Amino acid sequence: MYPIYSKVSSEKNFFGNTDPVQLSEKYGSPLYVYNENILRKRCRDIKGLIDYPNFNVNYSPKANSNLELLKIVKNEGLRVDAMSPGEIFVALMAGFKPDEIFYICNNVSKEEFLYAIHAGVKISVDSVSQLELYGKLNPGGKVAFRLNPGVGAGHHDKVKTAGQKTKFGIEMSQIPDVKRVLENYNLQLTGINQHIGSLFMDGDAYLASSHNILSVATEFDDLEFVDLGGGFGIPYRKQENQPRLDLKDLGGKLSELIRSWVKGYGKEIEFKVEPGRYIVAESGILLGQVNAVKTNYGLKYIGTDLGFNVLVRPTMYDSHHDVEVYRKDDKPSMKQETVRIVGNICETGDIIAKDRNLPEIFENDIIGVIDSGAYGYSMSSNYNNRLRPAEVLIETSGDARLIRRRDSLEDLVRNFIM
Ligand SMILES: Cc1ncc(COP(=O)(O)O)c(C=O)c1O
């Protein structure tokens, strides 16, 4: 393989004992590749965020719920959140104990609540209406609620999950209603959680919302935990040397806030955070193959198999991912040019990287989409009846191991009644 443009992956020795060309040939294209060392490192970073004895990290598997990755996260001592019965099911399969699973649900049915209650996991409700339903189903039970602390954050309006323009959480003015329903059904409020949004690169909003949640927590005597949420960002523009989120600074301020609040509360209750992206994004690179190169009305298009069914973030949120280029032969790129990297889906919005200045790219080159471990495979689909890719793990030894098979054509028709 010839690394034409590969600074980020080379510096991390991302592909271990193999390389993107070998991997694509062996496992097919497109292909998600994960690096175990990076995943473990990120788990450890975030476990060290807060200096307080009763602090735990719940990984949010909506970012990536591959079973093998969940097992690694568990092995690093993290716990887990779940957003659906499916996520509870997979978390149990990965070996998490029910009390290590926190079900943070949103607008769920009676059946979903019953699934979670019978599974024995911790449950948080997202509205007074859902608290009422939960109370009817599990009177005398334990419950938490998701607060909307009035402050949101995130890289796009679609992922700001607190503040005044979002469906999430219970606003602070409704706390008296929460208390009334808790009393009516004799429920024990064990925790309060929040999640203000996804991908913040400075901690100001997170810190402000943490102050708010703690002011509400003070109103309840028997709490066992407060969960401050996820959303910790990662630098998606590494090729431009974007700085990292300053975890040390944020962690220091959070630790101070927690320690002083705990003194006033009089009990060392548990504090949690619930990151998804921070843990897995950088451990993933999506590989795809260049199938066609053409110019349309002055714009050069690099046509790949990386449709938005495989990675939807650029189409859905206008997200930026750095890209790399790897070549099967030693043909040199003679120039730099501005190109648009597109997929194979029949929609104009099917763009993986918009107008990038890259070394000249040819048919059969392999493209690497950096930092695609979070909200990549987990948001992929069979749109256009395309097959979802395989997933491969580069283990700590540097060797590659298949951790999910590529879909087959039979998978596409499995649920048809024939
Ligand atoms: C309730 C909740 N917790 C945690 C997360 C994880 O967010 P992130 O991956 O940005 O850390 C999300 C994502 O939207 C969420 O909705």
Q: What does the pLDDT read at residue 149?
A: 82
**Do 220 and 301 lie in a common domain?**
no
Give the pLDDT confidence score for residue 417 in this predicted structure: 96
Choice among 107-121, 174-188, 202-216 with the minimum mean pLDDT = 202-216
Buried b (16+ CB within 10 A) or exposed e, 227-255: bbbbbbbbbbebeeeeeebebeebbebbb
CA dihedral (326, 330, 332, 337) in degrees, to 10, reads -20
DSSP annotation of 32: E
Residues 14 and 51 both lie in one domain: no
The pick from 60, 201, 319 for probing ligand 1's pocket by mutation, whose C-beta has the most ligand atoms within 8 angstroms, reads: 60
Secondary structure class of 172 (helix, strand, coil): helix
Same domain, 100 and 212: yes
- What does the radius of gyration of the chain's CA atoms come to, in whole angstroms? 23
Lowest mean pLDDT among 196-200, 260-264, 389-393: 196-200
pLDDT number for residue 150: 81
Q: Domain check: are 41 and 163 in the same one?
A: yes
Residue 21: inside a domain: yes
pTM of the model: 0.96
Domain span at 248 = 37-278
* Whether 371 and 293 share a structural domain: yes
Residue 81: CB within 6 Å of ligand 1?
A: yes
Instruction: Average the pLDDT over 317-333 and give the result.
Output: 97
Same domain membership, residue 348 and residue 271? no
Q: Which one of 278, 312, 331 terminates a domain?
A: 278
* C-alpha to C-alpha distance for 160 and 105, rounded to whole angstroms: 16
Q: Is the CB of 195 under 6 A from ligand 1?
A: yes
| The pLDDT of residue 249 | 97
pLDDT at residue 101, rounded to an integer: 98
Q: Pairing relation of β-strands 170-171 and 142-148? A: parallel
Domain end (from 230, 256, 278): 278
pLDDT at 221: 93
CB-based contact 140:181 (threshold 8 Å): no
Q: What is the CATH number of the domain that holds 167?
A: 3.20.20.10
- What percentage of the chain carries pLDDT values higher than 70? 99
Q: Which atom of ligand 1 is nearest to the CA of 83?
A: 1
For residue 376, being part of any structural domain is answered with yes
Domain boundary among 245, 278, 311: 278
| pLDDT computed for residue 158 by the predictor | 74
Identity of residue 326: Y
295-321 tens-digit pLDDT: 999 999 999 999 999 999 999 999 999
At residue 371, the pLDDT reads 98
In angstroms, the CA 207 to CA 212 distance is 9
Residue 26 sits in the same domain as residue 95:
no
Band the pLDDT of 103: cuts 50, 70, 90.
Answer: very high
Instruction: Assess whether pLDDT exceeds 90 at residue 121.
Output: yes
Q: For ligand 1, pick from 45, 59, 62, 159 the residue to mutate: most ligand atoms within 8 Å of CB.
A: 62
Length of the chain: 418
Q: What is the pLDDT of residue 68?
A: 98
306 and 234 fall within a common domain: no
43 classed as catalytic: no
Candidates 185, 190, 192; CA nearest to 170 is 192
Q: Please provide the average confidence, as pLDDT, over all residues in the chain.
A: 96
277 lines ligand 1 (CB under 6 A): yes
Q: Is residue 192 assigned to a domain?
A: yes
Of 165, 240, 346, 414, which one is the catalytic site residue? 346
| Per-residue model confidence (pLDDT) at position 167 | 85
Could you tell me the CATH number of the domain that includes residue 333?
Answer: 2.40.37.10
Task: Give the pLDDT score at 163.
Answer: 72
Q: Quick: pLDDT tens for 49-92.
A: 999 999 999 999 999 999 999 999 999 999 999 999 999 999 99
Contact criterion met (CB below 8 Å) for 88 and 67: no
How far, rounded to the nearest angstrom, does the alpha carbon of residue 235 sit from its chain's CA centroid? 14
Same-domain pairing of 51 and 14: no
Domain count, the chain: 2
Please give the pLDDT value at position 43.
98
* Structural domain includes residue 418: no
Apex 302 CA angle, 297 and 303, nearest 5? 105
Q: Is the pLDDT of residue 374 over 90?
A: yes
Q: pLDDT tens-digit profile of 128-185?
A: 999 999 999 999 999 999 999 887 677 777 767 777 778 889 998 999 999 999 999 9
64 lines ligand 1 (CB under 6 A): no
Helix, coil or strand: residue 374: coil
The predicted pLDDT at position 20 comes to 98
- Span 253-276, pLDDT tens digits: 999 999 999 999 999 999 999 999
The answer as to whether 71 is a domain residue is yes
